[in-house]
Amino acid sequence: MGLYHPPANGSAFPSPGNARATMLQRLSIKQLVLAILVLIAVTRLPAVAHPRALSDEAYYAVVANEMLHGGLPYRDAVDRKPPLLYGIFWAVFRVAGYPNWPVVHLAALGWTLATMALLFLLGRQLFTPLTGVIAALLYGAFQSYLTITNLAFNGEMMMNLPVVAAMAVALRPGRRPLGLDPLVAGGLVAIAFLLKQPAGVVLMPLTVYCLHPAYRGSRSYGMGTAWWHASLVSAGFALVLAATAIVLSHLGILREAWYWTVQNHDMPHGPFDLVFWERAARSGWRFGLFCGPLLIGSWLSLRHSRERWRGREAERDALIVFLLASLVGTAASGRWFTHYYLQLLPPLALLAAPALAESWQTPNPAPTARRLRRLILGWTALSVFVSFVIELYSGLLEPRTASPATAWLRSRVDSGDRIFVWGQDPHYYLDTGTRPASRYFASFPLTGYIFGAPESWDPRFDTSNRIAPHAWENLAEDFSRHLPSYIVDTDGARRVPRYPMADYPFLAQLISSQYRLEHRTADALIYARRE
């Protein structure tokens, strides 16, 4: 099949009046875009209407609330994400009020639509408007696969927007030898990195693209110009990070930001560990099951790549490296969480779109091609439907009653009270309307808790060597400024406590001398401060 060129009348397909054309083939580009917008709006309703934080949004919201009260991330509220992410949450709450979850989830919807718009532009500049429409559709359709947490306004979703923008700028045709597009593209990757660290791997496909022989040949560039453009990519990345470092240094939190966003990360189970591959297999088959059309479309697109990508070899190879680099980013922590796979969606959508666009516009495909087209359409529809049902239950139908500990605390805390939660659940702060008494609103810096690993909740594993430097001294300092009215021990309510407070002398002595066990629920032990 040759490359598809749209007719002058703007129709998506060459023969809309053909008797054998399907109903889909009679749709114009504008009608397809409208249908996609309706699909995205409907499938996001469960998330938009969700009354609480989705997944990691709870962590970001606690940090943003401290910022609203004049605090700073890493100093007054400790989490491990880059600073721009907290800045965006701060801005949303500053405008819409805290905590305003419908607005947060509307912002996530708008962010998704903006990413889809950039995918459309990139697909259109590489091939045709129809290719761009399908690239946007694939991203929007499969972003919500399997779980509503994929629709959370988190770093994985956020970083895709500047990442796709960087690819769109870098792959823009007609670049001048002294143009600054590579500098802008590198800066956009840095912005993505400041939302989620694995986005930094996108420097790899941008550099490969600038040095590709086809890139140089199509523009009559010498090797010196190619290296200049590749250097501009790195320079743009470095300039944005340098500017960020200057701001953080001015705020006095550069050292803390560096530690929590870079140094306090490792891979407990790497590629030479069986656990790494067990976790990859468990999550990978779910991704393949729900997002199979993306994989099939990408394979079809590259199967006859010499014909389909003629004149676009540099762009093809850049997208392949984009996919491989994104896979490295997905695997970087070794945890293989479902929402980590969102990083794979942009390169897969861009690779799959050309072949699916050709298949879509062919009025009389061969029987095998017709069956394959039906398979992809049916698979996509089924995946979207099943994912929507799961999200509908999680977002609207699942009971939303407050936990027993939350309900008890709500009836007793005052607006100025602070609490301290021993465990990994910041929802208690959000649901009770209280602020944390310590910068460690989640206790992982105090215990060495490992996120997303077999050791996470297994008491047999000692993680004390992972306790953050000076964490317990900092906790004592925080409590000297605002002693908590209540200590909520969620770990102690577990059948087998992972980190019993009695094992930590500072907490054990504090509770025995200044607190009493006031209430016990299924989800927490609540200690009240003695008068």
Same domain, 371 and 482: no
Same domain, 225 and 347: yes
Q: Directed axis angle between helix 367-392 and helix 129-142, to 10°?
A: 40
Specify if 131 maps to a domain: yes
Q: What is the DSSP letter of 147?
A: -
> 99: cis peptide before it, omega within 30°?
yes
Q: What is the per-residue pLDDT for 10?
A: 43
Specify if 33 maps to a domain: yes
Same domain, 440 and 476: yes
Asked if 478 and 446 count as a contact pair (C-beta separation under 8 A), the reply is no
Same domain, 357 and 484: no
Same domain, 348 and 416: no
Domain limit, last residue, from 347, 378, 395: 395
Same domain, 346 and 408: no
Please, which residues bridge with residue 77 across strands? 73
Same domain, 116 and 166: yes
Q: What is the per-residue pLDDT for 399?
A: 64
Specify if 196 maps to a domain: yes
Specify if 4 maps to a domain: no
Q: What is the per-residue pLDDT for 24?
A: 52
Same domain, 119 and 206: yes
CATH number, domain containing residue 489? 3.40.50
Domain limit, last residue, from 395, 424, 445: 395
Profile the chain (531 residues) by mean pLDDT over runs of 10 residues: 41 41 60 86 90 92 97 97 97 94 95 96 92 95 92 96 96 74 96 97 96 87 90 97 98 97 90 91 94 95 85 94 96 92 97 90 77 90 93 78 90 91 94 95 95 87 94 97 96 93 95 96 94 77
Same domain, 353 and 286: yes
Specify if 224 maps to a domain: yes
Q: What is the per-residue pLDDT for 360?
A: 78
Specify if 316 maps to a domain: yes
Same domain, 214 and 285: yes
Long-range contacts of 508-513 (CB under 8 A, 24+ apart): 510/479, 511/487
Same domain, 408 and 391: no
Number of domains in the chain: 2
Same domain, 184 and 107: yes
The amino acid present at 282, given as its one-letter code, is R
Specify if 16 maps to a domain: no
Q: Domain range for residue 410?
A: 404-529
Specify if 23 maps to a domain: no
